Structure 1
Amino acid sequence: MTFRRRTLLAAGAAALALPQIRTARAQTALRFSLDWALQGNHAMWSLADDRGVYRNLGLSVRMDRGFGSGDALVKVGSGAYDIGFADFAGAVKFNAENPQNRLVMIYPVFDRTAAALVTLKGRGIEKPQDVAGKNLGAPEGEGSRMLFPAFARVAGIDPASVRWTSMAANLRDTMLRTRQVDAVTGFLFTVHFNLVGLGVPEGDILGWPYAEHGLDIYGSGVFARAEWLERNQDTATRFVKASIEGLKLLLNDIPGGMASLKRREPLFDEALEARRFAMTRDRSMLTPNSRANGLGHVDMARVRTLIQVNAEALGVANPPRAEDFFTDRYLPPRSERMV
């Protein structure tokens, strides 16, 4: 009798467990690469995970840090990851050189590029045009450095009038602080708060985002390989929807978003990253365009400008068509994208 009772109990427990097993198996697994180590804006995806958005949409997402936008582009282009988040400027060259692994932007998270020129007070630079004759610093091949000639043209700067010093990305801000360079290029929110972390008084930091000074192009966003998208249209649509829902959660609960990232990275600085996200939100995400047309709105005229300036900067003779580069096919309806 004891054995029989145990058998029945075990069978009952197994029967009760079956629905949970089936639910878990119904989740579509996705490999998602970020552009860098965890920063405040990445909380839109950690919150989507923590608060059940992925689960409700039938997704199981593994989110891994990246090592630069170029790294994320290669990972997705090679098929090592299904979806990525990165500054899409480098994809102009990638797509021209790898047409069989063409990448497509399916949700431009940053309506405006975060690329900027940054300096400190006391360097003789009070406006962008003052960099003529100065020594600028940035890693070799870094996106904002590659875009500088296009920015210089619209800002009235002779690109040949500046000297460049190359360094590893983790040394850029220190070299600016210690006067080894006069100014640097990089993402505004990255350089600004890295300098704050180095003890630079915030009032001493001067920054000029390219997008606010004549070069109004898209920045970082969610992208995937064209071939993968054709086979996974519904999955891509659900991931974009989850991303936008996650961003809305973050906009309404920044402390909760920072805590979500802290659970994933114990050294994460919640206070500093909350401020970094606020700058990212105000300068790159919630722009007049996205407020009027909804998050992720795709304007093909702006896409063509992005392709043109990057093709010129990178020496791409056969740039992709705008329609092969960006799409709004996977975005939710405008009413669900309004903030």
Structure 2
Amino acid sequence: MKSRSLIVALMPAILVAACGGGGGGTTTNASGKQLDQVTLTLNWYPYGEHAPFYLGKKQAVFEKHGIDLKIQAGQGSQKTVQATGGGQTDFGWADTPALLAAVGQGVPVKSLGVYLQTTPASVQFFDEKNITKPADLKGKKIAGTAGDALSKTFPTFLKANGLAEADVQMQNTDPAGKIAAVISGQADALLGYASDQGPTMQEKAGKKVSYLRFSELGLNFYSNGLLASTKTLESRGDLVKRMVAATSEAWAAAEKDPQAAVDAMAGASEQLPSAQVLLDQFKTTVTLLHTDATKGMAPGINTAADWQTTIDTFAKAGVITKAEPPATYWDESVAPKG
């Protein structure tokens, strides 16, 4: 994720280049039921985290709720948030800090519920580096992307664990280059998501990857979730509620059967990771679905207190300049049941 100033600079280009448009039409299924055509743009090319949406399509969960769902690859959370706010897609799947920053810049979007409520943010490295605790990062070269949420919150993570920014050497690279930097030895570790880069890096290098997870070391915040434009919320409220209900149901089904969920992704993208990486990614994702406040509840149910913690974290990190109340960013009225 880029800086907030870059978000503003990129906005016109993003809105022009966004993937596809919103649905708006209708289709009829085999039994004669009319379905709303709906587009969902992901935060990136499909990977294990997205398995519930594909399982929901395969098992007709979305169809049951009157939705003919089209899943589209994204090009980063910022672009997905912008495309959603601009009406180029009906719904988005994106990282919460990107949504917070965009709302602060006036983009008309709101979260419909965060699903990854425990952050997958982590420092990732090969076991051979003998890194077992934050103190072992002293003097290490860390690959990160300047201006994104991970890099902005990393100083807070270091401080929470008795370290200073000067204790590590940051190497700025684009998101796609971080894995290559670690595999080649140009960096000792990278900042990434335990549900994304780690399994891929492990498979490519044939070496075990380990993690220092922010959430286990004093720093947790909301990550990816479902969002819509305020216009969609106001004009298509019934559709929004059905989409939220179907999404929560699909995630619950995937949580019960991870293998079936990743199997449903077959053919989703030419860039799709291997079956084993997909499974590893989704099994990690399942561990991120709740905080202590939402354990036992349906996927996608949030609390105002958890939202406030996230907002405060990113205000302190400089991702947003003004901390607004949770209702500014999140529409609790459409929360799933259960």
Alignment partners' CA distance in 2, 1:86 and 1:312? 21
Give the TM-score taking structure 2 as reference length: 0.84
Alignment partners' CA distance in 2, 1:225 and 1:151? 32
* Cα 1:70–1:20 shift into 2, 3 Å: closer
* Cα 1:231–1:74 shift into 2, 3 Å: same
The residue aligned with 1:217 is 221
Unaligned runs of 5+ in 2: 1-27
Question: Could you say what secondary structure the match of 2:117 adopts?
Answer: coil
Select the residue among 275, 282, 289 that pairs with 1:270: 275
* Cα 1:256–1:21 shift into 2, 3 Å: closer
Question: Could you say what secondary structure the match of 2:52 adopts?
Answer: helix
Question: Could you say what secondary structure the match of 2:334 adopts?
Answer: coil
Q: Does 1:322 align with 2:330?
A: no
Q: Which has the higher helix share?
A: 1
Structure 2 contact 94–224 (Cα < 8 Å) conserved: yes
Deviations, residues 199-238 of structure 1 (Å, cap 9, x unaligned):
2322xx2211111211121111111122321222211111
Alignment partners' CA distance in 1, 2:254 and 2:29? 29
Give the 5 Å matches for 1:255-294. 255-265=259-269, 268=272, 269-282=274-287, 284-285=288-289, 288-294=292-298
The residue aligned with 1:302 is 306
Deviations, residues 164-188 of structure 1 (Å, cap 9, x unaligned):
1111222211211222112211111
Alignment partners' CA distance in 2, 1:274 and 1:136? 27
Question: Could you say what secondary structure the match of 1:198 adopts?
Answer: helix
Deviations, residues 55-82 of structure 1 (Å, cap 9, x unaligned):
2211122110111212211211222112
* Cα 1:317–1:248 shift into 2, 3 Å: closer
Structure 1 contact 35–86 (Cα < 8 Å) conserved: yes
Alignment partners' CA distance in 2, 1:277 and 1:287? 18
Deviates more, 1:242-251 or 1:259-268: 259-268
Question: Could you say what secondary structure the match of 1:292 adopts?
Answer: coil
Structure 1 contact 137–167 (Cα < 8 Å) conserved: yes
The residue aligned with 1:66 is 74
The residue aligned with 1:10 is none
Structure 1 contact 84–222 (Cα < 8 Å) conserved: yes
Alignment partners' CA distance in 1, 2:73 and 2:334? 24
Alignment partners' CA distance in 1, 2:127 and 2:258? 31
Whichever residue aligns with residue 80 of structure 2, its letter is A
- Give, in angstroms, the shift of residue 137 of structure 1: 0.8
The residue aligned with 2:201 is 195
* Cα 1:134–1:179 shift into 2, 3 Å: same
* Cα 1:316–1:289 shift into 2, 3 Å: closer
Whichever residue aligns with residue 215 of structure 2, its letter is A
Q: Does 1:140 align with 2:146?
A: yes
Structure 1 contact 95–320 (Cα < 8 Å) conserved: no
The residue aligned with 1:312 is 316
Give the TM-score taking structure 1 as reference length: 0.84
- Give, in angstroms, the shift of residue 20 of structure 1: 6.4
Q: Does 1:51 align with 2:55?
A: no
Question: Could you say what secondary structure the match of 2:118 adopts?
Answer: coil
Alignment partners' CA distance in 1, 2:323 and 2:104? 6
Select the residue among 34, 37, 42 that pairs with 1:29: 37
- Give, in angstroms, the shift of residue 36 of structure 1: 1.1
Select the residue among 172, 179, 189 that pairs with 1:183: 189
Alignment partners' CA distance in 1, 2:254 and 2:173? 34
Deviates more, 1:261-270 or 1:220-229: 261-270
Structure 2 contact 94–226 (Cα < 8 Å) conserved: yes
The residue aligned with 2:50 is 42
Question: Could you say what secondary structure the match of 1:291 adopts?
Answer: coil
Give the 5 Å matches for 1:166-181. 166-181=172-187
* Cα 1:267–1:228 shift into 2, 3 Å: closer
Structure 2 contact 251–299 (Cα < 8 Å) conserved: no
* Cα 1:63–1:41 shift into 2, 3 Å: same
Give the 5 Å matches for 1:63-102. 63-98=71-106, 101-102=107-108
- Which structure: larger Rg? 1
Structure 2 contact 161–217 (Cα < 8 Å) conserved: yes
CA RMSD of aligned residues (A): 2.3
Structure 1 contact 72–84 (Cα < 8 Å) conserved: yes
Deviates more, 1:116-125 or 1:255-264: 116-125
Structure 1 contact 92–320 (Cα < 8 Å) conserved: no
Structure 1 contact 136–162 (Cα < 8 Å) conserved: yes
Whichever residue aligns with residue 180 of structure 2, its letter is T
The residue aligned with 1:151 is 157
Alignment partners' CA distance in 2, 1:137 and 1:90? 20
The residue aligned with 1:249 is 253
Alignment partners' CA distance in 2, 1:197 and 1:226? 41
